Structure 1
Amino acid sequence: MHPTADLRPDPDALLAAARSSERGRLKVFLGAAPGVGKTYAMLAGAARLRRAQVDVAVGVVETHGRAETEALIAGLEVLPRRQTLYRGTVLDEFDIDAALARRPALLVVDELAHTNAPDSRHPKRYQDVEELLAAGIDVWTAVNIQHVEGLSDVVSRITGATVRETIPDTVIERAEEVVVVDITPAELIARLAEGRIYLPETARRAAQGFFKPGNLTALRELALRRTADRVDDQMIDHLRANAIQGAWPSAERLMVCVGADPSSEAVVRAAARIASGLNAPWTAVTLERIGREVADAQALRRIDDVLELAERLGADTRRLAGRDLVEEITGYARRNNITQIVIGRSKPARWPGPWGAAGLTDALLRRASDIAVHVVVGEGPPKPAATAGRRDATDAAALTRGVLGAVAAVGCAVACGLLTTRFMALPEVPMLFLAAVLVTAVTLGVWPAVAAAMLAFLSYNFFFIPPVYSFTVAEPREVLSLAVFLLVAVTTGGLAGRVRENAEAAKKRILTIQALYDLSRKLSGATQLDDVLWVVARQAAEAVRGQVVILLPGSGTAEARRDLQVRAAFPPEDALQPGDAAAARWAYDRGEAAGWRTATLPDARLRFLPIRTARGTMGVLGFEPADRAREIPSDDARAFAALLDQAGISLERAALVAQARAGEALAERERLQATLLSSLSHDLRTPLSSILGAVTSLRGYGDRMPAGDRADLLAAVEEETRKLARFVANLLDMTRVEAGMLDLRRGWMDVEEVAAAAAARARRAFPARTLDLSIPDDLPLVRGDAGLFEQVVFNLLDNADKYSAPGTPTRLALRADGPSVAVTVEDRGCGIPPADLDRVFGKFTRLGEGDGRPAGTGLGLAIAKGVVEALGGTIRAESPAAEGRGTRFVVRLPVSETEPGHPRLLAGAEG
Structure 2
Amino acid sequence: MVRQTEKDRPDPKALLQLAARESRGKLTIFLGAAPGVGKTYAMLERARALRAAGTDVVIGLVETHGRGETARLAEGIETLQRLENTAYGEFDLDAALARRPGLLIVDELAHSNKVGARHPKRHQDIAELIAAGIDIWTALNIQHLESLSDLVVRIAGVPVRETIPDIVLKSADEIVLVDLPPAELIERLHAGKIYLPDNAARAVGGFFKPATLTALRELALRRAADRVDDQMVDFLRQSAVDGPWATGERLLVCVGPDQMSEKVVRIASRLASGLNARWLVVSMARPGAALPSPTDAERLEENLRLAERLGAETRRETAADFVEAILRLARREHITQIVIGRPAGRRWLRRSLPDAVLRRAGDIGVHVVPGEPQPQTRKSRKTLSLPEWALTLGLPFFSVGATTLFGLGINALVALQNLSMLYLAAVLLSAVIAGRFSALLAAGLSFVAYNFFFIEPTGALTVAQPQELLSLVIFIAVALASGQLAARLREQADLSRQQARQSQALLDFSRKLSGAHGLDSVLDAIASHLQSSLSRSVVVLAANEDGELVPTSAWPPDQTLDPTELTAARWAFDKREPAGFLTGTLPQVRYLFRPIVSAQRILGVAALRMGPGDAPLPADDERTWIALLDQAAIALDRARLSRESAQASVAREGEKVQAALLSSLSHDLRTPLASITGAITTLRQLGDKLPAETRDDLLLSIEEESGRLNRFVANLFEMTRIEAGIVKARREPIDLPTIIDAATARARRLHPDLQVELSIAPDLPHALGDATLLEQVLFNLLDNARKYGGADQPVAVFAKAEGKLAAISVTDTGKGIPEADLEKIFEKFYRRAKGDGRPAGTGLGLSIARGLMTAMGGSIKATSPAIRKRGTRFTLRLPLAEKDS
- Shorter-chain TM band: 0.5 to 0.7
Q: 1:455 aligns with which of 422, 431, 445?
A: 445
Query: Which residue does 1:765 correspond to in 2?
Result: 750
**Counterpart in the other structure of 1:728:** 713
Instruction: Note the C-alpha offset of 1:456.
Output: 1.7
Name the structure 1 match of 2:227. none
1:791-870 superposed matches below 5 A: 791-850=776-835, 852-870=837-855
1:892 corresponding residue in structure 2: 877
Amino acid at match of 1:892: R
- Deviations 1:17-45, CA, capped at 9 Å, x for gaps: xxxxxxxxxxxx99xxxxxxxxxxxxxxx
After TM superposition, the structure 1 stretch with the greater mean CA deviation from structure 2, 391-400 or 777-786, is 391-400
Q: Aligned pair 1:789/2:787, yes or no?
A: no
- 1:803 is paired with a residue of what secondary structure? helix
Q: Distance in 2 between matches of 1:522 and 1:611?
A: 18
Task: Name the SS of the counterpart of 1:824 in structure 2.
Answer: strand
Q: Give the corresponding residue for 1:112.
A: none
Structure 1 position 291, deviation (Å): 6.3
Of 479, 496, 503 in structure 1, the residue corresponding to residue 493 of structure 2 is 503
Task: Show the 5 A alignment for 1:110-125.
Answer: none
C-alpha separation in 1, matches of 2:466 and 2:394? 33
SS at match of 1:855: coil
Instruction: Say if 1:315 and 1:346 are closer, same or farther in 2 by CA, change over 3 A.
Output: closer
C-alpha offsets along residues 580-600 of structure 1, whole Å, 9 cap, x if unaligned?
A: 656545544554445567676
Preserved CA contact (<8 Å) 1:288 1:321: yes
Kept in 2, the 8 Å contact 1:287–1:321? The answer is no
Q: What does the per-residue CA deviation read over 1:782-821, in whole Å, with 9 as the maximum and x for residues that have no partner? A: 2322112211122222333343444333322222111111
C-alpha distance in 2 between matches for 1:269 and 1:847: 81
Post-superposition shift, 1:828? 2.8
1:859 Cα deviation after fit: 1.5
Task: Name the CA distance, whole Å, in 1 between partners of 2:673 and 2:626.
Answer: 69
Helix, strand or coil at the partner of 2:382 = helix
Cα shift at 1:694: 0.9
Check conservation: 2:282, 2:314, Cα contact below 8 A: no
Displacement of 1:727: 0.6
Alignment partner of 1:675 is 2:660: yes
Q: What residue number does 1:552 align with?
A: 541
Q: 1:877·1:887 contact (CA, 8 Å) conserved in 2?
A: yes
The letter for the 1-side match of 2:675 is: S
1:437 partnered with 2:427: yes
Amino acid at match of 1:485: F
**Is the 1:440–1:448 contact (alpha carbons within 8 Å) kept by the matching residues of 2?**
yes
Q: How does 1:347-426 map to 2 (within 5 A)?
A: 347=341, 366=363, 392-394=382-384, 398=388, 401-421=391-411, 425-426=415-416
Counterpart amino acid of residue 659 in structure 1: E
Letter in 2 for 1:870: A
Distance 1:487 1:390 in 2: 34
The CA deviation at 1:421 is 4.1
* Partner residue, 1:492: 482
Contact 2:285–2:317 under 8 Å retained in 1: no
Q: Which residue of 1 aligns with 2:164?
A: none
Q: Which amino acid aligns with 2:648?
A: G
Residue aligning to 2:7: none
Taking structure 1 as reference, are residues 573 and 741 closer, same or farther at Cα in structure 2, changes over 3 Å only? same
Q: How big is the shift at 1:378?
A: 8.6
The two structures have a TM-score, normalised by structure 2, of 0.60
Partner of 1:737: 722
For residues 457-490 of structure 1, the C-alpha deviation after alignment (integer angstroms, 9 at most, x for no partner) is 2232334334444433333333222211111111
RMSD (CA atoms): 5.1
Q: CA offset at residue 603 of structure 1?
A: 6.3
Q: Distance in 2 between matches of 1:742 and 1:301?
A: 73
Deviation string 1:163-211 (CA, Å, 9 cap, x unpaired) is xxxxxxxxxxxxxxxxxxxxxxxxxxxxxxxxxxxxxxxxxxxxxxxxx
Inter-partner Cα distance in structure 1 for 2:756 and 2:331:
88
Q: Which residue of 2 aligns with 1:346?
A: 340
Letter in 2 for 1:706: P
Larger Rg: 2
Could you tell me whether the CA contact under 8 Å between 2:253 and 2:339 is conserved in 1? no
Partner AA of 2:652 in structure 1: A
SS state at 2:815 partner: coil
Secondary structure at 2:596's aligned position in 1?
strand
- Paired with 2:599 and 2:752, the residues of 1 have a C-alpha distance of 67
Alpha-carbon contact 2:319-2:325 (below 8 Å) kept: yes
Q: Partner of 1:441: helix, strand, or coil?
A: helix
Q: 8 Å contact 1:803–1:855 — kept in the other structure?
A: no
**Structure 2 residue aligned with 1:663, among 648, 656, 660?**
648
- Judged with a 3 Å threshold, the aligned counterparts in structure 2 of structure 1 residues 659 and 420 are, in CA distance, closer, same or farther, namely same
Gaps of 5+ in 1: 1-28, 31-224, 229-251, 334-339, 367-372, 901-911
Please state how far the C-alpha of 1:881 moved relative to its aligned partner: 2.4
For residues 248 and 764 of structure 2, what CA distance do their matches in structure 1 show? Answer: 90
Q: CA 1:470–1:355 in structure 2 vs 1: closer, same or farther (change >3 Å)?
A: closer
Q: Distance in 2 between matches of 1:664 and 1:295?
A: 53
Give the conservation status (yes or no) of the 8 Å contact 2:596–2:603.
Answer: yes
Q: How does 1:203-352 map to 2 (within 5 A)?
A: 344-347=338-341
Return the alpha-carbon distance in structure 2 between the equivalents of residues 625 and 880 of structure 1: 73
Amino acid at match of 1:522: K
Query: Is this contact kept in 1: 2:672–2:708, CA < 8 A?
Result: yes
Q: 2:699 aligns to what?
A: 714
Are residues 257 and 314 of structure 1, via their aligned partners in 2, closer, same or farther at CA, if it must alter by over 3 Å?
closer
Instruction: State the partner residue of 2:624.
Output: 639
Task: Write the letter of the residue equivalent to 2:718.
Answer: D
Do the aligned partners of 1:553 and 1:619 also contact (CA within 8 Å) in 2?
yes
Equivalent residue letter for 2:728: D
Q: Does 1:540 align with 2:525?
A: no
Write out per-residue CA displacement over residues 227-265 of structure 1, whole angstroms, 9 at most, x where no aligned residue. Answer: x9xxxxxxxxxxxxxxxxxxxxxxx99999898767999
Q: Distance in 1 between matches of 2:678 and 2:654?
A: 35
Q: Mean alpha-carbon deviation: is it higher for 436-445 or for 292-301?
A: 292-301
* Deviation (angstroms), 1:736: 0.8
Query: CA shift at 1:767, angstroms?
Result: 3.4
Query: d(CA) in 2 for partners of 1:572 and 1:691?
Result: 68
The answer to whether the 8 A contact 2:255-2:283 is kept is no
What is the CA distance between 1:525 and its match in structure 2?
3.3
User: SS in structure 2 opposite 1:684?
Assistant: helix
Change (3 A) 1:886 1:583: same
Aligned CA distance change for structure 1 residues 316 and 325 (closer, same or farther; 3 Å): closer
Q: 1:734 to 1:400 in 2, by over 3 A?
A: same
Conserved 8 A contact 2:812-2:872: yes
User: C-alpha displacement at 1:684, in angstroms?
Assistant: 0.9
* Counterpart amino acid of residue 500 in structure 1: R
User: What is the CA–CA distance in structure 2 between the aligned matches of 1:813 and 1:314, rounded to whole Å?
Assistant: 90
Structure 2 Cα separation of the partners of residues 801 and 256 of structure 1: 92
Closer, same or farther: CA 535–754 of 1 in aligned 2, 3 Å: same
Matched residues in 2 for 1:265 and 1:683: separation?
Answer: 84
Post-superposition offset of 1:357: 5.7
Match of 1:871 in 2: 856
User: What's the counterpart of residue 218 of structure 1?
Assistant: none
Is 1:258–1:306's contact at 8 Å kept on the other side of the alignment? no
Structure 2 unpaired stretches of 5+: 5-237, 241-246
Q: Does 1:779 align with 2:769?
A: no
How far is 1:612 from its partner? Answer: 2.3
Deviation digits for residues 805-852 of structure 1, max 9, x if unmatched? 443333222221111111222223333333332222222222333355
